Amino acid sequence: MDNVAVGPGPVTFEELVAVTRGGAGVTLTDEAQAAIGKARAVVEELAAGATPSYGISTGFGALATRHIPTEMRAQLQKSLVRSHAAGSGPEVEREVTRGLMLLRLSTLATGHTGIRLETAQLLADVLTHGITPVVHEHGSLGCSGDLAPLSHCALALMGEGDVRDADGTLVPAAEALAAAGLTPVELEAKEGLALINGTDGMLGMLVMAITDLRMLLKTADIAAAMSVEGQLGTDRVFAPELQAIRPHPGQAASAANLTALLKDSGVVASHRGLPGDGTQCNRVQDAYSLRCSPQVHGGARDTVEHAATVAGRELASAVDNPVVLADEGRVESNGNFHGAPVAYVLDFLAIVAADVASISERRTDRFLDKARNHGLNPFLADDPGVDSGHMIAQYTQAAVVSELKRLANPASVDSIPSSAMQEDHVSMGWSAARKLRRSVDGLSRVVAIEVLTAARALDMRAPLEPSPATAAVVRLLRSEGIEGPGPDRHLSPEIAAAVSLVQSGAVLAAAEEVIGELA
């Protein structure tokens, strides 16, 4: 895989995913190297001066009033990193830590941090060699950036702490660096602060969540189409002229997807009436969970794209304090490290995940109730009473949806003061990002169970034929060992297989191979 070139400009969503999930290495562009060198010259000039300069010749946070003599400044940077590497709890995922490091490198490449080129290059080399510092779940308040997580990464550059090598083996950082032919860095003035003061962790998790949600919302449209079809619902409510009178772009896209997915469905045609014969489908008022799918899925889409706009702005930012204004030859304190803009949309997306999962669970539940499933067996059971069918699959959905509602509670309103009241308002953006990851995972599980249940119902509608697109999804499930209707069997492995097919994008790909790319 080609390396991602990191320069003064923003990293793209695709580049971030290539590094975090694809294992791509990174290189610093010539422009980045020049910008880094120019900013470093400013820092060194200020470090040599007699006037105290925050982050260069003073303490940090509530200790910023102490002027640090020249001979103690290397120790100042080491002490900063060691003391701030105070995370606790389980290790976060490899992709999260790689995103953390990549985005910190991206800020270093802007020429606004005052890092030395050799230090930035070491961070790039660590990424390229697949060395992943151990970063813990707890420790960031999302203000002064993700201090503790980034400090664990900076600690590894110093050859201290633990890392995972490219094979995932836990080893001391010094050992991993030596095996890769890399030399630990001796931090100099401003460098410790430059390595740890950013919103990189919460931002990386935001970008990955947006990437996942864009795919999952298309997959939710597939699940909804299968449910509309399997429950003998009407597709007339998805007509473009109806969407046009409420012109939300996400709603229009979702409705267009549902129309395309249901095209040429024998099941829908069986109760639509014949063109020109004066008859019409008597199902003109389906339940909200069917009829309003484009409104809910579309609102979710528009929210995701708002979050993507915020993420794009943050990717184009240089987040550090103090910041180097190289053209003016000065260093200034600022508040750009505050994670509020990112934290808000992370919380917003958790609401989206919970609500899309909620409507998906409601569509699934309708399949199982004999009074509402239009002629299907209770619980889609083969021999109701002897068999329970998908009864407990819906319980699993309900349990996940209930948790997603709890996770939708915002983290960003829960500020706790720190650093002797110097840092008296914080974003909690890291916490918002961590719970969003759980929300996205939960959404994928709920949608997968809807797909699994709807596929069973469509099989039970035989000899009526589903649409070409939904039939392709049913075939995919059957090809992966998920059997059709029949006596009860161990259901958990089938749910796990369906979840894997949803999370990998295989369900989406199966439908798109038939009807083209969904909106």
Query: No. of H helices and E strands in the chain?
Result: 20, 9
For tokens 């699993």, name the residue.
Answer: 396
Q: What is the CA radius of gyration of the chain?
A: 27
Tokens of 342: 């990112």
Nearest to 292 by CA among 357, 224, 229, 244: 224
The string over 490-517, giving b where at least 16 C-beta atoms fall within 10 Å of a residue's C-beta and e elsewhere, is: ebeebbebbbebbbeebbbebbbebbee
Q: What span, in angstroms and rounded, lies between the C-alpha atoms of 299 and 322? A: 39
Cα 501 vs. chain centroid, distance in angstroms? Answer: 18
Residues 6+ apart with CB under 8 A from 302: 248, 249, 250, 251
Nearest 5°: the CA angle 444, 449, 450 is 100
Q: Which CA distances in Å does 474 have to 362, 420, 506?
A: 21, 59, 12
Q: Are 68 and 59 a contacting pair, CB within 8 Å?
A: yes
Q: How many residues does the chain have?
A: 519
Q: What span, in angstroms and rounded, lies between the C-alpha atoms of 129 and 450? A: 41
Which residue numbers are catalytic?
54
Q: Are 206 and 11 a contacting pair, CB within 8 Å?
A: no
Q: Are 218 and 469 a contacting pair, CB within 8 Å?
A: no
Tokens of 200: 């990189």
Q: What span, in angstroms and rounded, lies between the C-alpha atoms of 380 and 376? A: 6
Q: Are 417 and 378 a contacting pair, CB within 8 Å?
A: no
